[in-house]
Amino acid sequence: GIRIGNVAAGGGHFDDEGSTDPFFGEDGYQEHLAAEYSSITHENYLKWEFVHPEEGVYDFEAADAVVEFAQAHDMDVRGHALSWHSQNPDWLEEGDHSPEELRGILEDHVRTVVSRYAGCIQQWDVANEIFGDDADATIRDEENIWIRELGVEVLDDVFRWAHEEDPDALLFYNDYNVDGVNAKSDAYYDLVQGQLERGVPVHGFGAQTHLSMNYGFDETYQENLERFDALGLYTAVTEIDVRGDVGEDDRMNDEDRAGAAERFETVLQACLEVDNCNSFTIWGTLDAHSWVPGTFPGEGDATLHEGDYERKPTYCVIQRTL
């Protein structure tokens, strides 16, 4: 059946004082996660800047803790992310490595991280956000160091290296603004189709699903998942939250709240309808730890719980839909 998940840790509030992460610092947070969810994602700790802070140096302390927690509570883990253009360490982005060196660095990273968690992390976001937001959904061949320096073909190898280290792990693409049949999801469809023809071990397509009540909702959401399903891929809702403009009380108005609940319900329903849609991950469990207010000023109210773990009406809608 479907696993309902949540980001575990890394509320996005990393400053000079370190982490104010609720996973490590907040009483009741872990108990809440274990009680409410059956899968979990590291919000930040498996990203390069955390797990690979210096050249040749890996730091698994925080990432390990989340995986151990998941195992202790019989939860699945979605690993996020093996390659991305964002949250890379300076030594990588500002280093002057040759393409050959970069290839070695990437291979070592993928093999080291995936093998460490073989059997413990069931799904990996192998390539995150590789296409841009422009009308043509151009591949990010400027921003993404791997694609810029090594060409998009390197992704075939990234999937292969990951597969060799854990043949049971499901290997995903993951992106935002692919919440329907559009130029960006078309670009993924074409890329994946080509890779499958070449025998590349790609297994899944993840729609992050960061929605805002300030934008419309694409009614082709389910149709999009279905076409990837028909390619033989798993699909997943990997980072859903539905934000909107909030007032002084940090809440949306009633109309937007009702609209947000409806979108959660529609997306969950879509995932339940699509045969191999296998997980539904909410990006943050409590508004207080959500990335939304920091990233989209004036917006919030995007998760299922507010205040002191109080369930919003949206929570009940999800419960009912399941």
Q: Which residues are marked as active site?
A: 129, 239
Tell how far CA 43 is from the center of its chain.
8
d(CA 57, CA 262): 45
Residue 112, C-beta contacts closer than 8 angstroms, at least 6 positions apart? 58
In the region spanning residues 92 to 121, those forming contacts with ligand XIL, defined by CB under 6 A, are none
Tell which residue, 259, 253, 260, 244, has the closest CA to residue 298.
244
Which tokens hold the place of 268? 């969950």
Separation CA 47–CA 51 (nearest Å): 6
- Angle (CA) 242 246 248, round 5°: 150
- Figure out which of the listed residues 3, 4, 9, 12 binds ligand XIL, where binding follows CB under 6 A: 12
The count of residues interacting with ligand XIL (CB under 6 A) is 9
Contact 124, 170 (CB under 8 A): yes
Q: Residue 255 has which token pair? A: 């109309």
> Residue with CB nearest ligand XIL?
12
Rounded Cα gap, residues 81 and 169, in angstroms:
13
CA distance 63 to 76: 14
Answer yes or no whether residue 208 interacts with ligand XIL by CB under 6 A: yes
How near is the Cβ of 178 to ligand XIL at its closest, in Å?
A: 12
The yes or no reply on residue 206 touching ligand XIL (CB under 6 A) is no
One residue of 4, 37, 43, 211 binding ligand XIL per CB under 6 A: 43
Q: Answer yes or no whether residue 299 interacts with ligand XIL by CB under 6 A.
A: no
Among 10, 201, 293, 300, binds ligand XIL (CB under 6 A): 10
Asked whether position 128 contacts ligand XIL by CB under 6 A, the answer is yes
Q: CB of 100: closest distance to ligand XIL in angstroms?
A: 28
Extended strands (E) in the chain:
3-9, 14-15, 18-19, 39-42, 76-80, 123-128, 170-175, 204-207, 210-212, 234-245, 277-282, 299-300, 305-306, 310-311
Report the nearest approach of ligand XIL to the CB of residue 43 (Å).
5
CA 98/CA 81 separation, integer angstroms: 23
**Residue 212 binds to ligand XIL (criterion: CB under 6 A):** no
> Is 21 among the residues that bind ligand XIL (CB under 6 A)?
no
**Min CB(118)–ligand XIL separation in Å:** 22
- Tell me the per-residue interface mask from 148 to 177 with ligand XIL, x by CB under 6 A, - otherwise: ----------------------------x-
Residue among 243, 291, 299, 305 that touches ligand XIL (CB under 6 A):
291
**Degrees, nearest 5: CA angle 224-228-231:** 145
Shortest Cβ distance from residue 289 to ligand XIL (Å)? 9
**Which residue's CB is nearer to ligand XIL, number 60 or number 176?**
176
Q: Which CB atom, from 76 or from 239, has the smaller least distance to ligand XIL?
A: 239
Pick from 268, 291, 282: nearest CA to 311: 282
Least distance to ligand XIL, CB of residue 44, Å: 5
Asked if 44 interacts with ligand XIL (CB under 6 A), we say: yes
In the complex, the residues that contact ligand XIL under the rule CB under 6 A are 10, 12, 43-44, 128, 176, 208, 239, 291
